[in-house]
Amino acid sequence: MKKGFSLLVVFTVIFSLTVISAAAGNVNKNSNTRQTTADETTANSQTTETTTTTQTKAADSKDKATKDDPTSSNGKSENTADIKKQFKAELNAQKKELQQEKVACTQQREDLEAQHEALVAAGKTEEAAALKVKLDALNTQIAGVQAQIKEIVNQRYMVVKAMYSDKELAQFKSAADLIAQMNQDAATLDVGSVMVNNNLIKFDTPPYIKGGRTMIPVRAITESLGADVTWDQTTKTATITKDNTVVKLTLNSPTVTVNGEPITISDPAEFACGRTYVPLRFLAETFHCDVSWDGDNELIDITDSGNAEAPAQEAN
Protein backbone atom coordinates (compact mmCIF):
# COMPACT_ATOMS: atom_id res chain seq x y z
CA MET A 1 0.00 0.00 0.00
CA LYS A 2 2.73 2.42 1.03
CA LYS A 3 4.76 1.35 -2.02
CA GLY A 4 1.86 2.12 -4.30
CA PHE A 5 1.36 5.49 -2.69
CA SER A 6 5.06 6.33 -3.17
CA LEU A 7 4.92 5.46 -6.87
CA LEU A 8 1.88 7.71 -7.27
CA VAL A 9 3.75 10.63 -5.69
CA VAL A 10 6.78 10.11 -7.98
CA PHE A 11 4.59 10.04 -11.09
CA THR A 12 2.79 13.18 -9.92
CA VAL A 13 6.09 15.06 -9.46
CA ILE A 14 7.44 13.95 -12.85
CA PHE A 15 4.23 15.01 -14.61
CA SER A 16 4.29 18.43 -12.89
CA LEU A 17 7.91 19.02 -13.98
CA THR A 18 7.03 18.06 -17.56
CA VAL A 19 4.09 20.50 -17.67
CA ILE A 20 6.18 23.31 -16.19
CA SER A 21 8.99 22.65 -18.70
CA ALA A 22 6.56 22.65 -21.61
CA ALA A 23 4.95 25.85 -20.42
CA ALA A 24 8.35 27.50 -20.08
CA GLY A 25 9.22 26.36 -23.59
CA ASN A 26 6.06 27.89 -24.96
CA VAL A 27 6.79 31.15 -23.13
CA ASN A 28 10.30 31.26 -24.56
CA LYS A 29 9.00 30.37 -28.03
CA ASN A 30 6.37 33.12 -27.87
CA SER A 31 9.01 35.53 -26.60
CA ASN A 32 11.36 34.59 -29.43
CA THR A 33 8.52 34.91 -31.91
CA ARG A 34 7.67 38.36 -30.62
CA GLN A 35 11.37 39.33 -30.77
CA THR A 36 11.67 38.01 -34.30
CA THR A 37 8.56 39.92 -35.32
CA ALA A 38 9.92 43.07 -33.70
CA ASP A 39 13.28 42.61 -35.44
CA GLU A 40 11.53 42.08 -38.76
CA THR A 41 9.43 45.19 -38.19
CA THR A 42 12.55 47.21 -37.39
CA ALA A 43 14.35 45.82 -40.40
CA ASN A 44 11.36 46.57 -42.62
CA SER A 45 11.22 50.08 -41.18
CA GLN A 46 14.93 50.61 -41.83
CA THR A 47 14.56 49.20 -45.33
CA THR A 48 11.60 51.49 -45.99
CA GLU A 49 13.53 54.46 -44.60
CA THR A 50 16.58 53.59 -46.67
CA THR A 51 14.44 53.15 -49.79
CA THR A 52 12.66 56.43 -49.14
CA THR A 53 15.98 58.22 -48.58
CA THR A 54 17.43 56.69 -51.73
CA GLN A 55 14.37 57.65 -53.74
CA THR A 56 14.49 61.18 -52.30
CA LYS A 57 18.17 61.53 -53.18
CA ALA A 58 17.52 60.13 -56.63
CA ALA A 59 14.68 62.59 -57.12
CA ASP A 60 16.86 65.45 -55.89
CA SER A 61 19.65 64.36 -58.22
CA LYS A 62 17.20 64.15 -61.12
CA ASP A 63 15.84 67.59 -60.31
CA LYS A 64 19.37 68.99 -60.15
CA ALA A 65 20.32 67.29 -63.40
CA THR A 66 17.20 68.73 -65.04
CA LYS A 67 17.99 72.19 -63.76
CA ASP A 68 21.61 71.96 -64.92
CA ASP A 69 20.76 70.53 -68.34
CA PRO A 70 20.42 73.43 -70.76
CA THR A 71 18.55 71.20 -73.21
CA SER A 72 15.83 70.17 -70.77
CA SER A 73 12.24 71.14 -71.50
CA ASN A 74 11.36 72.40 -68.02
CA GLY A 75 11.66 76.06 -68.98
CA LYS A 76 15.13 76.51 -67.53
CA SER A 77 16.76 76.51 -70.96
CA GLU A 78 14.58 79.43 -72.01
CA ASN A 79 15.52 81.33 -68.86
CA THR A 80 19.20 80.64 -69.50
CA ALA A 81 18.85 81.80 -73.09
CA ASP A 82 17.09 84.98 -71.95
CA ILE A 83 19.81 85.68 -69.39
CA LYS A 84 22.55 85.17 -71.98
CA LYS A 85 20.73 87.38 -74.48
CA GLN A 86 20.33 90.13 -71.91
CA PHE A 87 23.94 89.74 -70.82
CA LYS A 88 25.19 90.03 -74.41
CA ALA A 89 23.00 93.08 -75.01
CA GLU A 90 24.31 94.77 -71.88
CA LEU A 91 27.90 94.00 -72.81
CA ASN A 92 27.41 95.37 -76.30
CA ALA A 93 25.74 98.53 -74.98
CA GLN A 94 28.62 99.08 -72.55
CA LYS A 95 31.17 98.50 -75.28
CA LYS A 96 29.47 100.95 -77.65
CA GLU A 97 29.33 103.62 -74.95
CA LEU A 98 33.01 103.14 -74.12
CA GLN A 99 33.92 103.05 -77.81
CA GLN A 100 32.18 106.38 -78.33
CA GLU A 101 34.06 107.84 -75.37
CA LYS A 102 37.32 106.51 -76.79
CA VAL A 103 36.59 108.03 -80.21
CA ALA A 104 35.81 111.42 -78.63
CA CYS A 105 38.95 111.31 -76.49
CA THR A 106 41.08 110.27 -79.46
CA GLN A 107 39.76 113.17 -81.53
CA GLN A 108 40.45 115.55 -78.65
CA ARG A 109 43.98 114.16 -78.34
CA GLU A 110 44.63 114.77 -82.06
CA ASP A 111 43.50 118.38 -81.66
CA LEU A 112 45.71 118.93 -78.61
CA GLU A 113 48.69 117.32 -80.31
CA ALA A 114 48.30 119.71 -83.24
CA GLN A 115 48.10 122.67 -80.83
CA HIS A 116 51.13 121.39 -78.92
CA GLU A 117 53.21 121.15 -82.10
CA ALA A 118 52.19 124.67 -83.06
CA LEU A 119 53.19 126.02 -79.63
CA VAL A 120 56.55 124.27 -79.75
CA ALA A 121 57.18 125.60 -83.26
CA ALA A 122 56.31 129.12 -82.07
CA GLY A 123 58.73 128.80 -79.16
CA LYS A 124 56.02 129.10 -76.52
CA THR A 125 57.65 126.66 -74.13
CA GLU A 126 55.52 127.28 -71.03
CA GLU A 127 52.23 127.03 -72.88
CA ALA A 128 53.46 123.90 -74.65
CA ALA A 129 54.46 122.35 -71.31
CA ALA A 130 51.02 123.09 -69.82
CA LEU A 131 49.33 121.54 -72.83
CA LYS A 132 51.61 118.52 -72.54
CA VAL A 133 50.21 117.89 -69.04
CA LYS A 134 46.71 117.84 -70.49
CA LEU A 135 47.84 115.44 -73.21
CA ASP A 136 49.32 113.06 -70.66
CA ALA A 137 46.09 113.09 -68.63
CA LEU A 138 44.07 112.45 -71.78
CA ASN A 139 46.32 109.53 -72.75
CA THR A 140 45.79 108.04 -69.29
CA GLN A 141 42.02 108.40 -69.70
CA ILE A 142 42.13 106.71 -73.13
CA ALA A 143 44.21 103.85 -71.72
CA GLY A 144 41.64 103.39 -68.94
CA VAL A 145 38.76 103.30 -71.42
CA GLN A 146 40.65 100.83 -73.57
CA ALA A 147 41.22 98.58 -70.54
CA GLN A 148 37.48 98.62 -69.80
CA ILE A 149 36.72 97.74 -73.42
CA LYS A 150 39.19 94.88 -73.24
CA GLU A 151 37.50 93.51 -70.12
CA ILE A 152 34.10 93.62 -71.84
CA VAL A 153 35.59 91.92 -74.90
CA ASN A 154 36.93 89.14 -72.67
CA GLN A 155 33.50 88.68 -71.07
CA ARG A 156 31.86 88.65 -74.48
CA TYR A 157 34.35 86.05 -75.64
CA MET A 158 33.39 83.77 -72.74
CA VAL A 159 29.70 84.14 -73.65
CA VAL A 160 30.44 83.26 -77.28
CA LYS A 161 32.68 80.38 -76.31
CA ALA A 162 29.76 78.84 -74.39
CA MET A 163 27.89 78.67 -77.72
CA TYR A 164 30.43 76.12 -78.99
CA SER A 165 31.10 72.56 -77.93
CA ASP A 166 34.71 71.44 -77.45
CA LYS A 167 34.48 69.61 -80.76
CA GLU A 168 33.20 72.71 -82.58
CA LEU A 169 35.97 74.84 -81.10
CA ALA A 170 38.53 72.28 -82.25
CA GLN A 171 37.04 72.30 -85.76
CA PHE A 172 37.09 76.11 -85.80
CA LYS A 173 40.77 76.14 -84.85
CA SER A 174 41.59 73.52 -87.47
CA ALA A 175 39.86 75.64 -90.13
CA ALA A 176 41.80 78.70 -88.98
CA ASP A 177 45.09 76.80 -89.22
CA LEU A 178 44.20 75.56 -92.71
CA ILE A 179 43.29 79.05 -93.95
CA ALA A 180 46.58 80.39 -92.57
CA GLN A 181 48.45 77.68 -94.48
CA MET A 182 46.55 78.32 -97.73
CA ASN A 183 47.00 82.10 -97.53
CA GLN A 184 50.31 83.19 -96.08
CA ASP A 185 49.15 86.81 -95.80
CA ALA A 186 45.80 85.96 -94.19
CA ALA A 187 45.03 86.69 -90.52
CA THR A 188 42.05 84.80 -89.14
CA LEU A 189 39.64 86.34 -86.63
CA ASP A 190 38.59 84.60 -83.43
CA VAL A 191 35.17 83.32 -82.36
CA GLY A 192 32.89 86.17 -81.36
CA SER A 193 34.69 88.60 -83.66
CA VAL A 194 31.56 89.55 -85.62
CA MET A 195 28.26 90.93 -84.39
CA VAL A 196 25.26 91.56 -86.64
CA ASN A 197 22.49 93.82 -85.35
CA ASN A 198 23.74 93.28 -81.78
CA ASN A 199 23.71 89.49 -82.22
CA LEU A 200 26.88 87.46 -81.90
CA ILE A 201 27.47 85.22 -84.91
CA LYS A 202 28.50 81.60 -84.50
CA PHE A 203 30.85 80.57 -87.31
CA ASP A 204 32.08 77.08 -88.07
CA THR A 205 34.91 78.60 -90.13
CA PRO A 206 36.59 81.91 -89.24
CA PRO A 207 36.46 85.24 -91.07
CA TYR A 208 39.90 86.40 -92.15
CA ILE A 209 41.70 89.51 -93.34
CA LYS A 210 43.76 89.19 -96.52
CA GLY A 211 45.44 92.00 -98.42
CA GLY A 212 43.63 94.59 -96.31
CA ARG A 213 40.24 93.07 -97.11
CA THR A 214 37.96 91.24 -94.68
CA MET A 215 36.56 88.00 -96.10
CA ILE A 216 33.52 86.48 -94.39
CA PRO A 217 31.51 83.25 -94.82
CA VAL A 218 28.65 84.45 -96.97
CA ARG A 219 25.83 82.28 -95.62
CA ALA A 220 26.40 82.96 -91.92
CA ILE A 221 26.46 86.72 -92.41
CA THR A 222 23.71 87.15 -94.97
CA GLU A 223 21.26 84.88 -93.15
CA SER A 224 21.95 86.89 -89.97
CA LEU A 225 20.87 89.95 -91.95
CA GLY A 226 17.62 88.22 -92.89
CA ALA A 227 18.64 87.21 -96.42
CA ASP A 228 18.04 83.89 -98.18
CA VAL A 229 20.98 82.05 -99.73
CA THR A 230 20.91 79.33 -102.38
CA TRP A 231 23.83 77.49 -103.96
CA ASP A 232 24.12 76.17 -107.51
CA GLN A 233 26.70 73.40 -107.45
CA THR A 234 26.87 73.20 -111.24
CA THR A 235 27.80 76.85 -111.82
CA LYS A 236 29.41 77.36 -108.38
CA THR A 237 27.16 80.36 -107.88
CA ALA A 238 25.65 81.70 -104.67
CA THR A 239 22.40 83.67 -104.92
CA ILE A 240 21.59 86.05 -102.06
CA THR A 241 18.12 87.55 -101.82
CA LYS A 242 17.17 90.25 -99.31
CA ASP A 243 14.08 92.39 -99.68
CA ASN A 244 14.18 93.59 -103.30
CA THR A 245 17.87 92.93 -103.86
CA VAL A 246 19.17 89.79 -105.60
CA VAL A 247 22.92 89.20 -105.73
CA LYS A 248 24.69 86.44 -107.64
CA LEU A 249 28.34 85.60 -106.99
CA THR A 250 30.35 82.95 -108.79
CA LEU A 251 33.48 81.48 -107.23
CA ASN A 252 36.71 83.16 -108.41
CA SER A 253 34.84 85.46 -110.76
CA PRO A 254 35.33 89.25 -110.40
CA THR A 255 31.92 89.82 -111.99
CA VAL A 256 28.81 89.68 -109.85
CA THR A 257 25.26 90.70 -110.65
CA VAL A 258 23.01 92.85 -108.50
CA ASN A 259 19.41 92.75 -109.69
CA GLY A 260 20.69 91.55 -113.04
CA GLU A 261 23.25 94.34 -113.44
CA PRO A 262 26.90 93.19 -113.73
CA ILE A 263 29.39 94.69 -111.26
CA THR A 264 33.14 94.13 -111.06
CA ILE A 265 34.66 93.60 -107.62
CA SER A 266 38.36 93.62 -106.77
CA ASP A 267 38.14 90.53 -104.55
CA PRO A 268 36.02 87.74 -106.01
CA ALA A 269 34.24 85.11 -103.95
CA GLU A 270 36.54 82.28 -102.95
CA PHE A 271 36.25 78.83 -101.44
CA ALA A 272 37.90 77.83 -98.15
CA CYS A 273 37.24 75.01 -95.69
CA GLY A 274 33.99 74.08 -97.41
CA ARG A 275 32.59 77.62 -97.26
CA THR A 276 32.15 80.45 -99.77
CA TYR A 277 33.80 83.69 -98.67
CA VAL A 278 33.01 87.17 -99.97
CA PRO A 279 34.41 90.64 -99.21
CA LEU A 280 32.68 92.29 -96.27
CA ARG A 281 32.82 95.72 -97.89
CA PHE A 282 30.88 94.51 -100.94
CA LEU A 283 28.08 93.00 -98.84
CA ALA A 284 27.88 96.06 -96.60
CA GLU A 285 27.57 98.43 -99.56
CA THR A 286 25.14 96.20 -101.44
CA PHE A 287 22.74 95.69 -98.54
CA HIS A 288 23.21 99.19 -97.11
CA CYS A 289 24.80 98.16 -93.83
CA ASP A 290 27.09 100.17 -91.57
CA VAL A 291 30.25 98.45 -90.41
CA SER A 292 32.51 99.48 -87.53
CA TRP A 293 35.95 97.99 -86.99
CA ASP A 294 37.71 97.84 -83.63
CA GLY A 295 41.29 97.28 -84.70
CA ASP A 296 42.62 97.04 -81.15
CA ASN A 297 40.42 94.03 -80.38
CA GLU A 298 39.78 92.84 -83.96
CA LEU A 299 35.99 93.09 -83.67
CA ILE A 300 33.46 93.86 -86.39
CA ASP A 301 29.97 95.26 -85.78
CA ILE A 302 27.53 95.13 -88.70
CA THR A 303 24.23 97.00 -88.48
CA ASP A 304 21.37 97.64 -90.89
CA SER A 305 21.59 101.29 -91.89
CA GLY A 306 18.16 102.04 -90.42
CA ASN A 307 19.41 101.09 -86.93
CA ALA A 308 23.02 102.13 -87.24
CA GLU A 309 25.05 104.49 -85.16
CA ALA A 310 27.98 106.34 -86.72
CA PRO A 311 30.78 103.81 -87.05
CA ALA A 312 34.02 104.49 -85.21
CA GLN A 313 36.11 103.31 -88.13
CA GLU A 314 35.23 101.68 -91.39
CA ALA A 315 36.15 98.06 -91.88
CA ASN A 316 37.78 96.83 -95.05
Q: What is the CATH number of the domain that holds 205?
A: 3.30.457.10
Domain limit, last residue, from 161, 176, 209:
161
243 and 267 in a single domain? The answer is yes
**What band does 260 get if pLDDT is binned at 50, 70 and 90?**
very high
Clarify whether residues 294 and 243 are in a common domain.
yes
In a domain, 76, yes or no: no
Q: What is the average per-residue pLDDT within 175-190?
A: 89
Sheet containing strand 237-242, strands side by side: 228-232, 237-242, 245-250, 255-258, 261-264
Task: Give the count of domains, the chain.
Answer: 2
pLDDT at 143 over 60: yes
- Tell me whether residue 51 is in a domain: no
Residue that wins the pLDDT comparison between 224 and 18:
224
Are 221 and 146 in a shared domain?
Answer: no
How much is the CA Rg of the chain, to the nearest whole Å? 41
> What kind and span of H or E run contains 158?
helix 125-161
Query: In this structure, is residue 89 part of a structural domain?
Result: yes
Residue 293 lies in a domain: yes
| 281 found inside a domain | yes
pLDDT at 42: 45
pLDDT of residue 86: 61
Contact present, 282 and 135 (Cβ < 8 Å): no
- CA 104 to each of CA 110, 114, 128: distance values in angstroms, whole numbers, following the listed order: 10, 16, 22
Residues 6+ apart with CB under 8 A from 268: 249, 250, 251, 252, 253, 254, 256
Q: Is residue 18 part of a domain?
A: no
Single pTM value for the model: 0.60
Domain boundary residue, one of 161, 183, 205: 161
- Over residues 42-84, the pLDDT tens digits come to 444 444 444 444 444 444 443 443 333 322 333 334 454 555 5
| Same-domain status, 153 and 256 | no
Q: Higher confidence at residue 312 or residue 143?
A: 143
CA distances for 101 relative to 97, 134, 150, 193, 314, angstroms: 6, 17, 14, 21, 17
| Domain stop point among 121, 141, 161 | 161
Q: Are residues 153 and 250 in the same domain?
A: no
With a CB cutoff of 8 Å and minimum separation 6, the contacts of 42 are: none
Asked if residue 171 and residue 149 are part of one domain, the reply reads: no
Domain span at 291 = 166-307
